[in-house]
Chains A and B, each alone.
Chain A
Amino acid sequence: MNDQSLSISNPTPFFTDIYQKIALTVAALTVVYIGLLIVGSDPLTSIASFWLITLSFTFASLLYTWRAYRNKSAGIKNDGVWFSSLIARGAIGWMVGIVFTTFYVLLYWYPSTLGLGMGADGSNTGLVAVFDPMSYWIKGKPASEWFMYGFFYSLAILVLGVKFFVKYRHNTYHKWRTVSVVFFQLAFAFTIPEILMGLNLPYNNFFNMWPLNYYFFFDWNINQMIEGGTLGIFMLVWGIALVLIISPVLAYFYGKRWYCSWVCGCGGLAETAGDPFRHLSDKSLKAWRIERWMVHLVLVFAVVMTAMVLYSYFSGNSKVLFLDSYDVRAWYGFLIGASFSGVIGVGFYPLMGNRVWCRFGCPAAAILGIQQRFFSRFRITTNKSQCISCGNCSTYCEMGIDVKWYAQRGQDIIRASCVGCGICAAVCPRGVLRLENGPGISQRATEQRVITVDGYQDN
Chain B
Amino acid sequence: MQRKKIVILGNGISGTTAARFIRKLSNYEITIVSEETDHFFSRTALMYIYMGHMKYEHTKPYEDFFWKKNRLNLIRGRVKEIDFDNKNLLFDPDKKFDTIFPAPAELTYDYLILAVGSQPNRFNWPGQDLNGVNGLYSFQDLQYMEQYTEGIERGVIVGGGLIGVEMAEMMASRKIPVTFLVRESAFYSNNLPKEEAELISRHLKSHGIDLRLNTELKEITADEHGRCSGVITSKGDEVPCQFVGLTAGVHPNIDFLSNSGLQTDKGILVDEYLETNFKGVFAIGDCAQLKNPPEGRKPIEPVWYTGRIMGETAAHTICGKPQVYNPGIWFNSAKFFDIEYQVYGNVPPENPPEIKSIYWESENGKKSIRINYLKEEKCVTGFNLMGVRFRQEICEQWIAHKTPITEVLKNISAAAFDPELTSNPEKNLVKQYEIETGTKIPSTSTRGWGSALKVLRKLKNI
A residues with CB within 8 A of B? 1-7, 9-10, 12, 14-15, 73-76, 78-84, 170-173, 176, 284-285, 379, 381, 383-386, 388-392, 394-395, 404-405, 408, 422, 425-427, 429-431, 434-440, 449-453, 457, 459
User: B312 and A452: CB pair below 8 A?
Assistant: yes
Find chain B residues with CB under 8 A from A425 CB: 419
18 additional A-B residue pairs with CB within 8 Å, beyond A9-B146, A173-B419, A437-B448:
A2-B98, A10-B150, A73-B337, A80-B173, A172-B422, A173-B422, A381-B417, A384-B391, A386-B342, A388-B42, A388-B45, A388-B304, A395-B58, A422-B419, A429-B340, A436-B420, A449-B393, A453-B316
Cβ contacts A to B, 5 pairs, < 8 Å: A5-B57, A7-B49, A80-B52, A176-B421, A431-B333
Chain A residues with Cβ below 8 Å from B340 are: 429-431
Q: Does B338 lie within 8 Å of A391, measured CB to CB?
A: no
Contacts of B338 in A (CB 8 A): 73-76, 170
Determine whether B292 belongs to the interface, using a CB cutoff of 8 Å to chain A.
Answer: no
Given A73-B207, A452-B327, residue A430 in contact with residue B150 (CB < 8 A): no
User: Which of chain B's residues have a CB closer than 8 A to the CB of A83?
Assistant: 52
CA distance A171 to B387 in the complex (A): 12
Which residues from chain A contact B400 at a C-beta distance below 8 Å?
Answer: 457
A254 nearest CB neighbor, chain B only = B420
Contact check, B392 vs A7: say whether CB atoms are below 8 A apart.
no
Among B59-67, B191-199, B247-255, the stretch that binds chain A is B59-67
Are B333 and A451 in contact, CB atoms less than 8 angstroms apart? Answer: no
Contact between chains at B42 and A390 (CB < 8 Å): yes
Cα distance A383–B423 in the bound complex, in angstroms: 20
- Smallest Cβ-Cβ distance to B447: which chain A residue: A436
| Set of chain A residues within 8 Å of B54, measured between Cβ atoms | 82, 390-392, 395
Residues in B with CB closer than 8 Å to A285 are 63, 65
Given A79-B53, A82-B53, answer yes or no on A459-B460 (Cβ-Cβ < 8 Å).
yes
Q: Check B312 against A453 for contact (C-beta < 8 Å).
A: yes
Number of interface residues of B (CB under 8 A): 77
Q: Do residues A172 and B389 form an inter-chain contact, with CB atoms below 8 A?
A: no
Chain A residues whose C-beta falls within 8 Å of the C-beta of B420 in the assembled complex: 173, 434-436
**Contact yes or no, B312 A75, CB < 8 A:** no
Docked pose: A389 CA to B52 CA in angstroms:
17
Residue of B nearest to A430 (CB): B333
Is B58 within 8 A of A431, CB to CB? Answer: no
Judge whether B44 and A388 touch: CB under 8 Å. Answer: yes
Residue of B nearest to A76 (CB): B338
The 5 closest A-B pairs by CB, nearest first: A438-B449, A75-B338, A5-B55, A431-B389, A390-B45
Q: Judge whether B328 and A452 touch: CB under 8 Å.
A: yes
Assess whether A79 is in contact with B173, with CB atoms less than 8 Å apart: yes
Q: A385-B392, A434-B389 are in contact. Are A390 and B48 (CB under 8 A)?
A: yes
Q: Which residues of A contact B174 (CB under 8 A)?
A: 12
The residue in chain A whose Cβ has the minimal distance to the Cβ of B17 is A450
With contacts A173-B420, A450-B308 known, is A440 near B453, CB below 8 A? Answer: yes
A128 to B444, CA, bound (A): 60
Chain A residues with CB under 8 Å of B99's CB are 1
Contact of A79 among B51, B334, B418 (CB under 8 A): B51
B393's partner among A74, A81, A384, A408 (CB-CB below 8 A) is: A384
Known contacts: A430-B340, A437-B449, A438-B453. The answer to whether A10 contacts B56 by CB under 8 A is no
Q: Least Cβ distance of B272 to chain A in Å?
A: 14
Q: Which residues of B contact A408 (CB under 8 A)?
A: 61
Give the contacts of B117-158 with A (CB-CB under 8 A): 139, 142-143, 146-147, 150
> Which residues of A lie under 8 Å from residue B76 when comparing CB positions?
1
Does B309 make an interface contact (CB < 8 A)? yes
Which A residues are in CB contact (< 8 Å) with B327? 452
A363 to B35, CA, bound (A): 48
Question: Any chain A CB within 8 A of the CB of B50?
Answer: yes
A290 to B421, CA, bound (A): 35
The residue in B53, B139, B175 that gathers the most chain A C-beta atoms within 10 A of its C-beta is B53
Cα distance A386–B303 in the bound complex, in angstroms? 12
Question: Which residues of A are found within 8 Å of B460, using beta-carbon distances?
Answer: 457, 459
A75 to B340, CA, bound (A): 10
Shortest C-beta distance, A452 to chain B (Å), equals 5
Residues of A within 8 A of B84 (CB): none
State how many angstroms separate the Cβ of B65 from the closest Cβ of chain A: 8
Which residue in B56, B65, B418, B448 is a CB contact (below 8 Å) of A5?
B56
Beta-carbon contact of A391 and B60 below 8 Å: yes
| Shortest Cβ distance from A458 into B: residue | B460
Considering only CB atoms, which chain A residue lies closest to B392 in the complex? A384
Complex Cα–Cα for A449 and B54 (A): 26
Q: How many whole Å from A343's CB to the nearest CB in chain B?
A: 28
Structural contact, A3 and B391, CB atoms closer than 8 A:
no
Distance from B80 Cβ to chain A, minimum over Cβ atoms (Å): 19
Q: Roughly how many angstroms separate A170 CA and B393 CA in the complex, as a whole number?
A: 26
| A390-B312 Cα distance, complex, nearest whole Å | 20
Using CB atoms, name the residue of chain A closest to B420: A173
**A198 vs B111: C-alpha distance when bound (angstroms):** 80
A436 touches B308 (CB 8 A): no
Instruction: Report the Cα distance A182→B10, complex, angstroms.
Output: 50
A76 to B419, CA, bound (A): 14
A383 CB → nearest B CB, Å = 5
B38 within 8 A of A: yes
Is B215 an interface residue when CB atoms closer than 8 A count as contact? no
**Complex contacts, A450 vs chain B, CB 8 Å:** 308
Which of B44, B52, B305, B335 sits near A7, CB closer than 8 Å? Answer: B52
With contact pairs A1-B38, A81-B53 given, residues A438 and B61 touching in the complex (Cβ less than 8 Å): no
Q: How far is the CA of A43 from the CA of B324 in the complex (A)?
A: 81
Whether, in the assembled complex, B206 has its beta carbon less than 8 Å from a beta carbon of chain A, the answer is yes
B63 pairs with A439, CB closer than 8 A: no
Name which residue of chain A comes closest to B150, CB basis: A10
Instruction: Specify the chain A residue showing the minimal Cβ separation from B333.
Output: A430
Against A, the Cβ 8 Å flags (1 = close, 0 = not) of B414-458 are: 000111111100000000000000000000000011101100000
Interface flags, B73-106, vs A, CB<8A=1, else 0:
0001000000000000000000001110000000
Asked if residues B449 and A389 are in contact (CB atoms below 8 Å), the reply is no
**Closest chain A residue, CB of each to CB of B385:** A431
Question: Are A389 and B61 in contact, CB atoms less than 8 angstroms apart?
Answer: yes
Q: Which residues of B contact A74 (CB under 8 A)?
A: 338
A453 CA to B308 CA in the complex, in Å?
Answer: 11
